[in-house]
Structure 1
Amino acid sequence: MRTSHVSWNLFGLGLPLLIAAVTVPHLLSALGGQRFGLLALAWGLIGYGGALDLGIGRATTQRIAALRDGHKEREIPDVLATATRLTLATGGVGMLLIALAAFAGAGRFVHAGEVPQTEIRSAILLLALALPMQAVSATYRGVNEAFLRFERITIVRVLLGAANFGLPYLIALRTNRVDLLIASLVVSRGLALVFYRLFALRCLTSLGSRGKYTGPVARQLFHFGGWFTVSSVVSPLLVQADRFFIAAILGAAAVTTYVIPYEVTVQTLILSSAVTTVAFPAISRLLHTDPEQAKRLFNRWLKRVLVVMVVGLTVLAMILPILLTVWLHKPADPASVAVGRILCIGVIANSMGAMYFALLHARGKTRVTAIVHLIEVPLYAGALVVLVKYFGVEGAAMAWALRMLFDTACLKVLSKEAV
């Protein structure tokens, strides 16, 4: 596990944040609170679309990483072909479900009186198109991760990050129609899929074969991804649930008050994400060849991430009012500042939890993480309803931070036997 691999990932995750820092204030000013809130919901739903690979992308990374160190490299094309067909099917199902929800009037559950329901429905239908793209992209990205081609992933992430914020910004200069803003997100996901596929196929050039779908490989992938399926569906839902509860209880405008400090604080998790993306395939291989080295590798990076996150989030909590004022070109909303500071606590816990999560999955222990997430669902939903009702957006931040503390504590206990 090289530091350069982590650096590539950090660059790929960090540069889009700089683009967001420039464009988000202009988007907020051009769109207004309700329409920007709907755009934020769209970002969340598209992010959730990656979960529709049902763990197959993660299983692909682990399986190919293991095959690379053995004498079975010729099986890799079959793994990719099988995984691609599976994720295309699951993404297609998700697309149909979202489309049906749109026609059934799901847009009425979002309180955005300034936006016509026809516009909201068109936006939801466009979002449905992005879901299979996200699901299949996860598989192709997993191939690149297994081959440690992080520089290629970085290229796509930078382009996607630029499009994710830049295209809506350019459209907002001419119109504030939500469906047109969402259309730009769909186009960018389609282009990202093309690049992920191109880079993944380049990894397999030396193997010659294109691969084919096989039942045994599908069973192997589902064996790993079976319980991870639960996590891959539930975990992103838990991550994004706060803004949807806020929209339903307080209205779309309140989402903006919450999502601005949320993006500032939670995006600092790019550090732990950069580390865990590299650590997962590295630890997966070492657990088969040198378990002690795997343990030392994990502990070394866990300490590094903890120190950096504690120092960084402490400083961020202190300067948050100034940062929001400078960024948005107006005095920081006290509610947003409070939300951000509460979230800082949860972010530190989440960075640790992500490390334990990667360790458990490298060992193949997807069942235990899925059970933890299932336990969290009713607890978190109940906490959101109560805390948002009585404390507003600050209550949502409290619920989010408490869930992260609970999640990390559980994963730490369960990971003791992983190495």
Structure 2
Amino acid sequence: MKKNNEQPNFSKTTPSCNPHDGHSERLNANLVRGSLWSIGGQAAPLVASMIATPFVIRLLGTESYGVLALINVLIGYLGFADIGMSSASTKFGAEANARGDTEEEVAVIWTALVINSIPVLLAAFLLAIMSRTIVEQLLDLPQSLQEPTILALRISSLGFVARSISGVLNTPQLVRFRVDLYNSITASYNVAQISLVPVVLLLGLGLPGAVLLISFINFLMAVNMALISNKLLPFLRKPTLSIVLVKPLITYGSAILLIVLISTVLTGTEKIVLVRFASVKALAYYSVAFTIAKLLNVLPGALSQSLFPAFSRLQVNTEKKSLKTMYSQCCRGLLLCLFLSATFICFFAQPFLTTWAGAEYGRESIIPLYILVMGCFFEGMSYVPSFLLQAVGKPYMITYIQAAEILPYLLMTALLSSSFGAVGAAVAWSLRAIVESLVIFGLAARVLASYSSTIVDRSYKVP
């Protein structure tokens, strides 16, 4: 294995970064095409899940299905163990690709993969050896479910490792805007996983069999991701590590990890507070409204798969115009799409809620929904400046903003929820989202205003 202790070579350039050769136009086309593929990649598993879930619930039974959902939650929390290497690999890989530096791109991927593997393998190992303790001492499960759950947790740790590795191996696809390949792989394997679980249950393999299938499909997806990435970047088959990349990758990834952790707290805390200060029924009204309002973020989320690598490529350009132009175009396009989507949701919300969930929800959830739509509108708009800040190496700005929000937000949520129930929780969440969005837009404007031609940090130190 080659270890590169030299400073990265920044002398290699590519004419593709010249904004005057049509590169920006190609990026815009790739951005639109990638977003459409991302929407399709999210829609296919969603449809499959809507079809398969009723069968899984009946075949597993309520308690075992609850255990399966719990395992998914635990694995979701373990996802923090990758310390943000998927985003870090995409950012630094996109910059190397924009310069035409293939060796550097390979070094970024392999170095990020090694950094990622250490905490991920440790987390998987701890889950495997502590599964009995978790089941017997932390979870209040019936005796008949304890052994199957212990086995399922141990199996799921293997699938977790495979999925984490895939998050780094997809870098060549994302930086080349081959979102079609990325979404084809992830969507097909996710649909296969969702569709085959009922078959496994029909064969009598129970909860451990279902988790084994999920883990095996995650392993196959990682292998397929590696094969496709190797075709796009043939030199990837030759492992290359760069010592000088370790610090910037960890620094950047840690900032992304903090954003994810704090966002998790800010996104879900109001639900817990609402139960504490109002009632479970108020939470039900709020949850239905929140689920529908969050549909506004599907488009910004799909856009992000292409937007982040696009910004990362453009920010190494010596010309300011390309990055500023794409930023402006994305903001304007997203503004129009979100406005139309929000108007559509608000117009049809009450008849839909009444038909889908019942007259009670049509009556009690509609006001929280209107309020949450406003908050989700601003949250969706903030995706563009957020990814700009991350692409130019300033994710810590977002971390500071969100960390400063936690205490005021919790106090505001408790006060409003105790007085106004679901409506109060919706007001608290939306006010936080609006303020956060406006501050992030202000910071992004400052970054663009002070943007200089010496963008690239030649020592690979993240500011």
Hey, what does 1:222 align to over in structure 2? Answer: 250
Hey, what does 1:370 align to over in structure 2? Answer: 399
Is the CA contact (8 Å cut-off) linking 1:14 and 1:270 kept in structure 2? no
Note closer, same or farther for the CA distance 1:56–1:96 as it changes in structure 2 (3 Å cut).
same
Equivalent AA in structure 2 for residue 362 of structure 1 = A
Hey, what does 2:171 align to over in structure 1? Answer: 142
Distance 1:407 1:183 in 2: 41
**Which 10-residue stretch deviates more, 346-355 or 45-54?**
45-54
Q: CA deviation at 1:238?
A: 4.3
SS in 1 for 2:312: helix
The 5 A counterparts of 1:195-344 are 195-205=224-234, 207=235, 210-236=238-264, 238-239=266-267, 262-289=290-317, 290-320=319-349, 322-323=351-352, 333-334=361-362, 340-344=369-373
Q: CA deviation at 1:178?
A: 5.8
Hey, what does 1:4 align to over in structure 2? Answer: 33
Note closer, same or farther for the CA distance 1:191–1:237 as it changes in structure 2 (3 Å cut).
farther
Note closer, same or farther for the CA distance 1:223–1:327 as it changes in structure 2 (3 Å cut).
same
**Which 10-residue stretch deviates more, 210-219 or 143-152?**
210-219
Hey, what does 2:13 align to over in structure 1? Answer: none
Q: CA deviation at 1:120?
A: 5.5
Hey, what does 1:346 align to over in structure 2? Answer: 375
SS in 2 for 1:194: helix
Q: Highest CA radius of gyration, 1 or 2? A: 2
TM-score under structure 1 length normalisation: 0.80
Note closer, same or farther for the CA distance 1:352–1:162 as it changes in structure 2 (3 Å cut).
same
Q: CA deviation at 1:183?
A: 4.7
Match of 1:411 among 404, 419, 440: 440
Return 5+ residue gaps in structure 2 as ranges. 1-26, 449-463
SS in 2 for 1:288: coil
Is the CA contact (8 Å cut-off) linking 1:108 and 1:117 kept in structure 2? no
Q: Percent identity?
A: 20
Is the CA contact (8 Å cut-off) linking 2:197 and 2:213 kept in structure 1? yes
Match of 1:57 among 86, 104, 107: 86
The 5 A counterparts of 1:101-180 are 102-105=131-134, 116=145, 124-163=153-192, 165-168=194-197
Hey, what does 1:358 align to over in structure 2? Answer: 387
Distance 1:246 1:126 in 2: 35
Note closer, same or farther for the CA distance 1:242–1:116 as it changes in structure 2 (3 Å cut).
farther
Note closer, same or farther for the CA distance 1:166–1:47 as it changes in structure 2 (3 Å cut).
farther
Distance 2:274 2:209 in 1: 24
Post-superposition Cα deviations, 1:24-50, rounded to whole Å, max 9, x if no partner, equal: 566667778776666555545544544
Hey, what does 2:11 align to over in structure 1? Answer: none
Match of 1:189 among 201, 213, 218: 218
Is the CA contact (8 Å cut-off) linking 1:266 and 1:347 kept in structure 2? yes
SS in 2 for 1:148: coil
For the pair 1:19 / 2:19, whether they are aligned, the reply is: no
SS in 2 for 1:213: strand
Q: CA deviation at 1:359?
A: 0.8
RMSD (Å), alpha carbons? 4.2
SS in 1 for 2:238: coil
Distance 2:140 2:428 in 1: 22
TM-score under structure 2 length normalisation: 0.73
Is the CA contact (8 Å cut-off) linking 1:260 and 1:336 kept in structure 2? yes
Q: CA deviation at 1:292?
A: 1.7
Distance 1:288 1:133 in 2: 32
Post-superposition Cα deviations, 1:276-314, rounded to whole Å, max 9, x if no partner, equal: 221212122222223222111111111211221222133
Post-superposition Cα deviations, 1:90-131, rounded to whole Å, max 9, x if no partner, equal: 212333454566544478777888995666555555544443
Equivalent AA in structure 2 for residue 224 of structure 1 = Y
Q: CA deviation at 1:274?
A: 2.0
Q: CA deviation at 1:153?
A: 0.7
Match of 1:92 among 117, 121, 127: 121
Note closer, same or farther for the CA distance 1:32–1:221 as it changes in structure 2 (3 Å cut).
same
The 5 A counterparts of 1:370-389 are 370-380=399-409
